[in-house]
Structure 1
Amino acid sequence: MFYALKRPSEEEEWNYFLLYMASLRKRYFIGTYYIQEWNLYTPVFKMPPTIVDKRAFTPIEKEVLDNAYRMVCIGCGRCCARSSGAFAFEHEIEEFKDKLPIEVDLLDWFYVRLSYVGDVKVFRLDKGVAGSCVLYDVKKRWCILAEEEKPVICIIHYCSLYAERRGKYYVKVAVKRRYNELIPIYKEAQGKVLRRIKSMLRRAYRST
Structure 2
Amino acid sequence: MGKIYVLREPRRGDRAWNIYALREAAWLKRWFQGVYYSPRLKRLLAVFKPTPGTHVNMLVFEEMGESVLSDAYRMECPRGCNRCCVFRSGAFILENELRRLPVEVQERIRSQPSELVRTPGGPVRVYRLDTGPMGRCIFFDVEEGRCMLEDYGKHAKPIVCLLTYCTVFATRGGRLYLKRGYRVLRDGRVEMRYEEVDRDTWNRMVARMGSLWSSYRKTFRRAGAGAVKREAKA
Taking structure 2 as the reference length, what is the TM-score of the superposition? 0.82
1:42 and 2:45 aligned? yes
User: How far has the Cα of 1:27 moved from its partner?
Assistant: 0.3
Change in Cα spacing, 1:102 to 1:199, as seen in structure 2 (3 Å) is: farther
Q: 1:167-203: CA deviations, max 9, x gaps?
A: 2111111112433433111111113211211222223
Structure 1 residue 196 and structure 2 residue 204: aligned? yes
Q: Cα deviation per residue 1:77-128 (whole Å; 9 max; x = unaligned)?
A: 111111111111112234325453973443000011222x111111111111
Name the residue aligned to 1:14. Answer: 17
Specify the alignment match of 2:82 in structure 1: 77
Gaps of 5+ in 2: 217-234
Deviates more, 1:92-101 or 1:45-54: 92-101
Q: How far does residue 132 in structure 1 lie from its aligned partner after superposition?
A: 0.6
Q: Closer, same or farther in 2 for the Cα pair 1:126/1:145, shift >3 Å?
A: same
Amino acid at match of 1:16: I
| 1:20 and 1:89 in contact (8 A); partners too | yes
Q: Distance in 1 between matches of 2:114 and 2:170?
A: 34
Distance in structure 2 (CA, Å) of the matches to 1:172 and 1:99? 40
**Corresponding residue for 1:185?**
193
**Comparing 16-25 with 90-99, which one deviates more in the overlay?**
90-99
Instruction: State whether structure 2 residue 209 is matched by structure 1 residue 206.
Output: no
Identity %: 31
Partner letter of residue 72 of structure 1? Answer: E
- The amino acid that maps onto 2:119 is L
In structure 1, list runs of 5 or more residues that go unmatched: none
SS of corresponding position for 1:96: coil
Q: Deviations over 1:141-177 (max 9, x none)?
A: 2111112211111112111101111221111111124
After TM superposition, the score normalised by the length of structure 1 is 0.91
Match of 1:111 in 2: 116
Q: Does 1:150 align with 2:152?
A: no
1:118-157 matches, cutoff 5 A: 118-146=122-150, 147-157=154-164
What residue number does 2:226 align with? none
Offset, 1:49: 4.8
2: CA distance, partners of 1:93 / 1:8: 23
Going from structure 1 to structure 2, the CA distance change for 1:186 and 1:101 (only over 3 Å counts) comes to same
SS of 2:144's partner is coil
Amino acid at match of 2:114: W
Residue 53 of structure 1 pairs with residue 75 of structure 2 = no
Instruction: Indicate the residue corresponding to 1:173 in structure 2.
Output: 180
The answer to whether the 8 A contact 1:101-1:135 is kept is no
Is the 1:101–1:134 Cα contact (8 Å) retained in structure 2?
no
How big is the alpha-carbon RMSD for the aligned residues of Structure 1 and Structure 2?
Answer: 1.9
